[in-house]
C-alpha cells in the first residue's frame, strides 16, 4: 500500500479528479484519474471492471448518478492507503484519447469571434453578425476520425486554394495554417431519435469538458466552404486534452452567460447559470499570445445540446461538441491567429519573430484553469500539437 | 439440406449477392446475403464466425482479397445443397442497418442539382454554379447517429425557420420537408492519418453502395446554413437501403463520367471509368415521380474519396459518403422535390393531388437497378420511409 502526497493548492487536487486513459509500456489502455502528478488506475482503485476499458465511454454510459457516486468514492479512496499497483506517475505513462468519439459537432458560439470573422470576410457589410447568429447557436458537423490526443504531430494539410489573383486553383501545402482555441463538451449518455434534450436535462447528458484545438487551414477553407460549409480546411486534425474534467468539478465555475438579446426562443431559455468562468491560454512556441475568456461565450453548452437535438437528432455516448473559437472583446483575448493578426495585417511577435500563421516546427499549447470547490482552482492539462511538414 | 430456386432474370441473382444484417424473432442480428427472395445466413453458409456479427464491418475490414474470395464462395455455395438452417425468406426476417456507420460525408456531385439550386436560391447570379464547383467535389460532414434503415418512420423535425416576411424566426414543425435521392458509398478498409487514398486505390477501399435518402427540411436549412453549411435541416434522419451492393457486382455498370471540363487537378484525375450506370426511381405514395440517372453525376466516388482524404484525414471501416442529390438534365430526372416543383412554383400531381413538399403520412421509396454481369440486371432493394407527425 502507498499514500499519495499531493499539494492542496495544485490544479489537480480533490476538486478536479478528471478522467483519462493511460497505458504503461506494453500494456492495454485503461481508465485513470489524475491526482496531483499521479495517474491512478480506476479499475484497481475501485475494484471495478468498468474502468478496465480503452475509453471512458462504458463508464459515462452508466449515467449521472454513477458519475456522482464514483467521484465521491475516488475522492475518498485517493486520500487513504491505496494499492501501489494502482499508482503511476505522469512521466511513466502514455496518455490516449480518453473517449471513443461518436458524432462531432463544432459550434460558433463567441460573439466576438463571429463578428471579427464577419468584419474580415465581409468588410462591406455594416452588420458583422449574420441575421441568424443571435437566434440559434450556428454549428456544423466535423470529422470524428481525425480527433487526436495532445502531443500528436499535426501534418500540414495539402489542398486546393485559390487566391483572388489566381486564375485557377492551385494544389499544395496550406500556407495559412491556423488554430482555434475551443472547449469540447463530452456527451456521456445517449438520447433517442425524436427525443430532444431540453436545456434543463443537459446536466444528465454532458459528462465533462476538454480543451479543443480545431486546427484550420484558412486558404483551403476559404475556397471550399461555399455553400456547404467548412470541410477539408478542418478535417485533417483536431487536438483534445487527455483529461476530461467532469461537469461535476465545474460547479464553482458556472456563471450566467452574457445577456442574450433578443431573448432566444423558448427551447433555448435557461433557468440555471450555464456560462463557464474558464480562463484559457494560448502558447505559441512557448510564449503566451492570447488569453481567451470562456466567460465571454454567448451560447452555453446546455443551449448547444438543446439546439442540436431539437430536430429529433439522437445522441450517442461519446458525442463531442465543441464551442467554436473562444474570443473575448480585447485583441489579446482572440483565440485564432487570423483574428489575432487581423487577417495578417498585424503580425504578432513570437519569440522575436513577426508571425501570422503557423510554420513547420511550430508548437501550440492550449491550457486552461477554472474555479474549483472551496476556493481552489482546477486545471484542464494541455492540448499540445507541433506542425510537421506536409507529405 | 435444401436447394434454392431463384429465377435467373431477377434483380437478386448470382450477379448481385449483396450484404445485409437480419434477425429472426428473438435472435441476434447476423450477416446475410440476399439470393432471390431468400435471406441466407453467411456464418452458417460459409461456416465462418466473421459473419456472426451485428454489422458487416468486421468482414469489410478484412480487405479486398477477402471480398473477392467470399463472393466466389457464396456464388458457388448458394447454387448447391445448403443447410436449411442458413435459409430464411424475406418475410420471415427483420432487416437492420447493415453497417456500423463511422464518419458520414455528403457530397453535391450532380451538376444539374447544383445548378438548379443555384438558379432557385441565387436567381440574380448569371452563373448558377459557384466558382469552386467544377474544381472540387463540394461536400460536408453530416450526422452518423441518425442514419436509419429502410422502413424506419421519419418524424417530421421541429426547428427554427424565418421566411422573408417574418420579422423574427418562428419555431415549429418543418413545412418544407423534402427528400434527396442519393447513392451512399461504404468504406470497407481504413486509412491512416496523413495517408491520402489516391483515385487508383479507391477499389481497395470502397466496399459497395446503398440507396440513400437525405431527408431535408428546406425551411430549417435555409435559415441556419449561412455561413457553416446545413446541420439541423438534415441531421434528423437519413434512410439507407438494407442491402449493400458490392462494388464487385457493379463492374458492368461502370462507365465514364461526363466530360470534366476544366480538367481537374492531378489528384482528381482518373484512368479507369468510375461513373456508374445506375437507374434510380423515386416513388411518392406509390407513384413514380422521378427517375434520376446516376450516369449523369459529374464527380465519381473514387474522386470523392480521393478528395476527402487528400488533406490527410483518416478513414475508418464503416465510413459512409453519399453522392448528393442525383438529378439529370430533364425535369422528370430531378431527385429532390424542391427541384421537381421548382421551389413550389410547379406542383406535381401525386395520386390526383397537387403536391410540393411532404405531408404527414406520405411515404417515399427509392429503388434502383444497374447492369450486372452477363447481361443481367441487379437491384438495390429499396430505401423506404413514411413521414410521422412532429412530436
Q: What is the CATH number for B190?
A: 3.90.850.10
Both A144 and A279 in one domain: the answer is: yes
Q: Nearest-CA neighbor of B382 among B282, B296, B247?
A: B282
* Helix runs in B122-181, H state only: none
Both A156 and A191 in one domain: the answer is: yes
Residues 6+ apart with CB under 8 A from B391: A194, A195, A312, B155, B158
Spatial distance between the Cα atoms of A349 and A355, rounded to a whole number of angstroms: 6
CB-nearest partner of B313 from A145, A308, A310: A145
pLDDT at A126: 87
Both A124 and A88 in one domain: the answer is: no
pLDDT at B251: 98
Domain stop point among B96, B117, B133? B96
* Domain residue limits at B366: 104-388
Residues 6+ apart with CB under 8 A from B63: B188, B189, B204
pLDDT at A380: 98
Spatial distance between the Cα atoms of B221 and A229, rounded to a whole number of angstroms: 12
Both B45 and B87 in one domain: the answer is: yes
pTM (whole model) above 0.95: yes
Spatial distance between the Cα atoms of A381 and A367, rounded to a whole number of angstroms: 6
Q: What is the mean pLDDT of residues B51-56?
A: 98
pLDDT at B121: 84
The C-alpha of B12 sits at a distance from chain A's nearest C-alpha, in angstroms, of: 32
pLDDT at B356: 97
Chain B residues with CB under 8 Å of A138 CB are 224, 227-228
Domain stop point among A80, A96, A112? A96
CB-nearest partner of A313 from B105, B146, B195: B146
Both A142 and A206 in one domain: the answer is: yes
Q: Do A236 and B315 touch (CB under 8 A)?
A: no
The C-alpha of B147 sits at a distance from chain A's nearest C-alpha, in angstroms, of: 10
The C-alpha of B215 sits at a distance from chain A's nearest C-alpha, in angstroms, of: 12
Q: Do A391 and B136 touch (CB under 8 A)?
A: no
Chain A residues with CB under 8 Å of B310 CB are 158-159, 232
The C-alpha of A229 sits at a distance from chain B's nearest C-alpha, in angstroms, of: 4
Spatial distance between the Cα atoms of A314 and A156, rounded to a whole number of angstroms: 34
Q: Which residues pair with B186 in a beta bridge?
A: B208, B320
Q: Do B160 and A136 touch (CB under 8 A)?
A: yes
How many other β-carbons are positioned within 10 Å of the β-carbon of residue A161?
23
Average pLDDT, chain B: 97
> Which of A102, A122, A311 to probe the B interface (max B CBs under 10 A)?
A311
Residue of B113, B135, B141, B205 with catalytic role: B113
CA–CA distance from B279 to each of B179, B257, B293, B364 (Å)?
Answer: 17, 15, 5, 17
pLDDT of B126 higher than 90: no
CB-nearest partner of B193 from A146, A171, A314: A146
pLDDT at A53: 98
Spatial distance between the Cα atoms of B294 and A209, rounded to a whole number of angstroms: 44
Chain A residues with CB under 8 Å of B132 CB are 160, 162, 169, 223-224, 226
Both B185 and B316 in one domain: the answer is: yes
Q: Output the CA torsion sign for B56, B62, B68, B73.
A: negative
Both B161 and B69 in one domain: the answer is: no
Q: Residue B281 — pLDDT band, cuts 50, 70, 90?
A: very high
Both A223 and A334 in one domain: the answer is: yes
Chain B residues with CB under 8 Å of A312 CB are 146, 155, 157-158, 236-237, 391
Q: Do B138 and A224 touch (CB under 8 A)?
A: yes
pLDDT at B164: 87
pLDDT at A101: 98
Chain A residues with CB under 8 Å of B194 CB are 155, 391
Both B167 and B207 in one domain: the answer is: yes
Q: Do B228 and A229 touch (CB under 8 A)?
A: yes
Domain count, chain A: 2
Both B197 and B316 in one domain: the answer is: yes
User: Between chain A and chain B, how many beta carbons pairs sit less than 8 Å apart?
Assistant: 192
Chain B residues with CB under 8 Å of A131 CB are 162
Both B60 and B207 in one domain: the answer is: no
Parallel, antiparallel, or unpaired: how do β-strands B170-173 and B30-35 relate? unpaired
Q: What is the CATH number for A46?
A: 2.30.30.230
Q: What is the pLDDT along chain A (391 residues), one digit of tens a residue?
A: 999 999 989 999 999 999 999 999 989 999 999 999 999 999 999 999 999 999 999 999 999 999 999 999 999 999 999 999 999 999 999 999 999 999 999 999 999 999 999 999 888 888 999 999 999 999 999 999 999 999 999 999 999 999 989 999 999 999 999 999 999 999 999 999 999 999 999 999 999 999 999 999 999 999 999 999 999 999 999 999 999 999 999 999 999 999 999 999 999 999 999 999 999 999 999 999 999 999 999 999 999 999 999 999 999 999 999 999 999 999 999 999 999 999 999 999 998 999 999 999 999 999 999 999 999 999 999 999 999 999 9
Both A91 and A112 in one domain: the answer is: no
Q: Do B314 and A132 touch (CB under 8 A)?
A: no
Spatial distance between the Cα atoms of B21 and B243, rounded to a whole number of angstroms: 8
Assess contact for B328 and B175: CB atoms under 8 A: no
Catalytic residues of A: 113
The model's pLDDT over B8-20, given as tens digits with 9 standing for 90+, comes to 899 999 999 999 9
pLDDT of B377 higher than 90: yes
Amino acid at each position: 500500500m502507498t499514500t499519495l502526497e499531493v499539494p492542496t493548492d495544485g490544479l489537480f487536487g480533490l476538486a478536479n479528479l478528471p478522467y483519462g486513459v493511460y497505458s504503461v509500456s506494453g500494456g492495454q489502455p485503461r481508465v485513470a484519474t489524475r491526482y496531483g502528478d499521479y495517474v491512478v488506475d480506476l479499475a484497481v482503485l475501485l475494484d471495478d471492471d468498468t474502468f478496465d476499458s480503452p475509453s471512458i465511454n462504458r463508464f459515462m454510459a452508466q449515467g449521472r448518478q454513477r458519475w456522482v457516486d464514483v467521484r465521491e468514492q475516488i475522492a475518498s479512496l485517493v486520500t487513504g492507503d491505496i494499492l501501489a499497483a494502482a499508482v503511476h506517475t505522469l512521466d511513466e505513462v502514455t496518455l490516449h484519447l480518453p473517449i471513443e468519439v461518436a458524432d462531432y459537432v463544432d459550434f460558433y458560439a463567441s460573439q466576438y469571434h463571429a463578428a471579427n470573422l464577419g468584419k474580415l470576410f465581409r468588410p462591406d457589410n455594416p452588420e458583422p453578425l449574420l441575421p441568424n447568429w443571435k437566434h440559434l447557436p450556428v454549428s456544423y458537423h466535423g470529422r470524428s476520425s481525425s480527433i487526436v490526443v495532445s502531443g500528436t504531430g499535426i501534418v500540414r494539410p495539402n489542398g486546393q486554394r485559390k487566391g483572388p489573383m489566381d486564375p485557377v486553383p492551385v494544389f499544395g501545402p496550406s500556407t495559412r495554417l491556423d488554430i482555434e482555441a475551443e472547449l469540447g463538451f463530452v456527451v456521456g449518455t445517449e438520447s433517442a431519435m425524436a427525443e430532444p434534450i431540453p436545456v434543463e436535462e443537459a446536466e444528465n447528458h454532458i459528462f465533462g469538458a476538454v480543451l479543443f484545438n480545431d486546427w484550420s487551414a484558412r486558404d483551403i477553407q476559404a475556397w471550399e466552404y461555399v455553400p456547404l460549409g467548412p470541410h477539408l480546411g478542418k478535417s485533417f486534425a483536431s487536438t483534445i486534452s487527455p483529461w476530461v474534467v467532469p461537469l461535476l468539478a465545474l460547479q464553482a465555475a458556472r456563471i450566467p452567460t452574457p445577456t442574450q438579446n433578443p431573448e432566444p426562443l423558448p427551447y433555448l431559455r435557461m433557468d440555471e447559470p450555464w456560462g463557464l468562468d474558464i480562463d484559457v491560454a494560448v502558447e505559441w512556441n512557448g510564449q503566451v499570445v492570447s488569453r481567451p475568456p470562456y466567460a465571454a461565450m454567448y451560447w452555453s453548452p446546455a443551449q448547444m445540446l438543446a439546439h442540436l437535438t431539437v430536430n429529433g437528432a439522437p445522441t450517442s455516448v461519446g458525442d463531442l461538441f465543441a464551442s467554436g473559437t473562444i474570443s473575448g472583446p480585447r485583441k489579446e483575448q482572440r483565440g485564432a491567429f487570423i483574428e489575432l493578426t487581423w487577417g495578417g495585417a498585424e503580425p504578432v511577435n513570437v519569440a522575436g519573430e513577426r508571425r501570422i500563421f503557423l510554420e513547420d516546427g511550430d508548437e501550440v499549447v492550449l491550457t486552461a484553469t477554472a474555479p474549483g470547490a472551496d476556493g481552489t482552482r482546477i486545471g484542464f492539462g494541455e492540448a499540445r500539437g507541433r506542425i510537421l511538414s506536409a507529405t
